[in-house]
Amino acid sequence: MTIKRILGLSAVLLLAVIVYLFFDISHRLEKAQSEDPLVWASDIETFAERGVGEPQSLLFVGSSSIRFWGELAEDMTPVPVINRGFGGSKIGDVVHYADTLFRADNPRAIVIFVGTNDMTPQQTKSVDTMTARFAAMMSALRKQHPDVPVYYIAITPSPLRWAIWDEAVAVNEAIQTLISQMPNTHFIDTGEALMSDGQPNPDNYVFDRLHLSAKGYDIWAEIIRSQLFSDLDLP
């Protein structure tokens, strides 16, 4: 096979992957507009089929930024991880499926990133609504894991949703205040690191201007791993 033919086939495969990702993300963004948690039933069924995962894992729960974190296991090595990200999900969805999402065998910690899909230009929720839903999520989590350390990753900025960033900041601040009153619960803010000159740095996002790029995930990995491994005294 000639080099020209190999390059041609590689380009076709790359295009196919890009098209697949585009339609997958578009489909999940459409589902994200729904307030019905049943739209995620198939995702949750998949998590249930996989079981509780390896004991003493780091359990990551949340929306597409968790789901698409392809290097998560490598970024948290040597500690095993469980990835229960389902793209487009909201806090209410996590509450609805809390029994399955937070089911784990003595996890070292639980890391949550959810809330960005509650705060969109099309459907921005109030601070009171968001804090009430966050409290409900934590209540459901603590029924299973009363003493496990929990880390909440704050809503992140993005070029696509920059118009409602002030509202998102207000929600982040309210949730941070709430977390400060909860034992063994921590707030991780990666927002500033994803920005430059007061705006989301485009290099940290993929073509949809919403999800993190490889560079964006590198920033996440550095901040999140550093806090987890320091707090938990991990190797």
**Is the bond preceding residue 78 a cis peptide, omega within 30 degrees?**
yes
Given a cut of 60, is residue 22 above it in pLDDT?
no
What mean pLDDT value characterizes the chain?
90
Rounded to the nearest 10°, the torsion over CA 229, 231, 233, 235 is 0
Residue of higher predicted confidence among 64 and 19: 64
Summarised one tens digit per residue, pLDDT across range 136-171 is: 999 999 999 999 999 999 999 999 999 999 999 999
The pLDDT, as a whole number, for residue 27 is: 47
160 closest CA partner among 188, 190, 189, 194: 194
Spatial distance between the Cα atoms of 131 and 55, rounded to a whole number of angstroms: 31
Given a cut of 60, is residue 62 above it in pLDDT?
yes
Q: Which two tokens stand for residue 211?
A: 């999800």
What residue ranges do the domains of the chain occupy?
Answer: 1-32, 35-231
**What Cα–Cα distance (Å) separates residue 77 from each residue in 101, 218, 227?**
22, 14, 14
Residue 20 pLDDT level (bands cut at 50, 70, 90): very low
CATH H superfamily, domain 35-231: SGNH hydrolase (3.40.50.1110)
Given a cut of 80, is residue 4 above it in pLDDT?
no
Summarised one tens digit per residue, pLDDT across range 162-203 is: 999 999 999 999 999 999 999 999 999 999 999 999 999 999
